[in-house]
Structure 1
Amino acid sequence: MDAELGDFLRSRRARIQPEEVGLPGHGRRRVPGLRREEVAQLAGVSVDYYIRLEQGRGPSVSDAVLDAIARVLRLDDTEQEYLRTVARPAATRRKSVSGPAPQKVRPGLRLLLDTMDKAPAFVLGRRMDVLAWNALGDAVVGFSQMPPAKRNMPRQVFLDPHARELYPDWPAVAAETVAYLRLDAGRHPHDRQLATLVGELSLGSENFRRLWADHQVKEKTYGAKRMMHPLAGELSMPYETLTVSGEPDQMLVVYTPKPGSQTEERLKLLASWTATPQTAGS
């Protein structure tokens, strides 16, 4: 994760132009954005200290220094959280040497999914693995048709040949997926299954490799997604993502079609074609 910290800092200073922080921008520059010595100067630390930090060989870094670097690099709240996580991985290193425990969805949450018969909903776990879903969620996305060992949203987005047909705004969906996966990797730097997933996606998708190298991080909270369903047609659905109480690595994702909209009517038709509700999880 030391390399992860350096890569993240380099990617973030590359996007800040000198003129934006009151520095002269004229003259030749070998790298885009700010130089390391400029970040150090603006953050109020020595150049040697910042270089050692970016190279992953510095001492334990204080909140004040991280706050100053975050200010200089104009990090948003999610990026600041990520910076702190990758800058202080010691506590994480002591955990899960043998790998994370199997992910399970508690019965009450499964029951909640089944009662949500008007909105597609599903539960995501670590690495964006799909752990459970309701009948309408399955009808929209097709979770039950995925091999259980491959039931994972990044795999669907980047390795499913039909993903670009399902998601008309595929570039945006792909970028958001990678940004959250990168955030998850920062929180769990020694998750071997995640490392395997990243390797699989990197080998299978040039787009994933490019987006992963960009080091964007983004929390999954709420938004909107368009889908082109093979039976129901175009679906335009806002969504809300809720952290499951007692299970911080699990998220309940619920699509919330606008009342009276064409999407709501199409989902009703799709629900009428759906067989007996199916929920599943690992």
Structure 2
Amino acid sequence: MYADWPAESESNVTYLRFISGSHRHDPQLAELIGELASQSEEFAALWCRQRVSNCIEGTKLFDHPVVGELELMYQSADLQDGNILKFYHAEPDSPHEAALQMLMVDLDSVHHR
């Protein structure tokens, strides 16, 4: 669903590298990184660049199967239990906000059937 896969994949790998720094002794994370590196040349190349980024906020461009191009801004919040909560929202009064509204109407109609 990502409209710009190269940028999105690089962003996710730099964020995974950021997380791995604070979870150095997590065997499941180490196993995941090893599995990704051995099964994906793209991941291995991105991981070897050693770029680190904490993706606290930014913009993501999606290619949604129902509404088409959807640009959403996001912000992250670290929770006390170690989880991360991401908030996604569209620019007010934009076509992207209208697309989100349309998706919410679709979801609401599914729940009331």
Same fold (TM > 0.5) = yes
The 3-state SS of whatever aligns with 2:3 is coil
> Residues 211-261 of structure 1, C-alpha deviation per residue, up to 9 Å, x if partnerless?
1111111112100010000111110111111122x22x2211111101111
Residues 1-282 of structure 1 correspond to what in structure 2 (within 5 A)?
166-244=1-79, 246-247=80-81, 249-274=82-107, 275-276=110-111
The 3-state SS of whatever aligns with 1:220 is coil
> Residues 55-97 of structure 1, C-alpha deviation per residue, up to 9 Å, x if partnerless?
xxxxxxxxxxxxxxxxxxxxxxxxxxxxxxxxxxxxxxxxxxx
CA contact (8 A) 2:14 2:52 kept: yes
Percent sequence identity is: 38
Letter of the structure 2 residue corresponding to residue 175 of structure 1: E
> Residues 137-181 of structure 1, C-alpha deviation per residue, up to 9 Å, x if partnerless?
xxxxxxxxxxxxxxxxxxxxxxxxxxxxx1121111111111111
CA contact (8 A) 2:3 2:69 kept: no
> TM-score when scaled to structure 1?
0.37
- Aligned-residue offset at 1:203: 2.5
Letter of the structure 2 residue corresponding to residue 217 of structure 1: V
Distance 1:176 1:209 in 2: 14
Cα RMSD, aligned residues only: 1.2
Letter of the structure 2 residue corresponding to residue 201 of structure 1: L
Letter of the structure 2 residue corresponding to residue 213 of structure 1: C
> Residues 188-228 of structure 1, C-alpha deviation per residue, up to 9 Å, x if partnerless?
11211111211221132111000111111111210001000
Distance 1:243 1:186 in 2: 16
The 3-state SS of whatever aligns with 2:51 is coil
> TM-score when scaled to structure 2?
0.89
Distance 1:203 1:270 in 2: 38
Distance 1:194 1:242 in 2: 21
Letter of the structure 2 residue corresponding to residue 258 of structure 1: E
Distance 2:34 2:51 in 1: 18
In structure 1, runs of 5+ residues without a counterpart are: 1-165, 277-282
Letter of the structure 1 residue corresponding to residue 58 of structure 2: G
Question: Which structure is higher in strand share?
Answer: 2
In structure 2, runs of 5+ residues without a counterpart are: none
Aligned residues: 109
Distance 2:19 2:97 in 1: 32
> Residues 82-141 of structure 1, C-alpha deviation per residue, up to 9 Å, x if partnerless?
xxxxxxxxxxxxxxxxxxxxxxxxxxxxxxxxxxxxxxxxxxxxxxxxxxxxxxxxxxxx
The 3-state SS of whatever aligns with 1:236 is strand
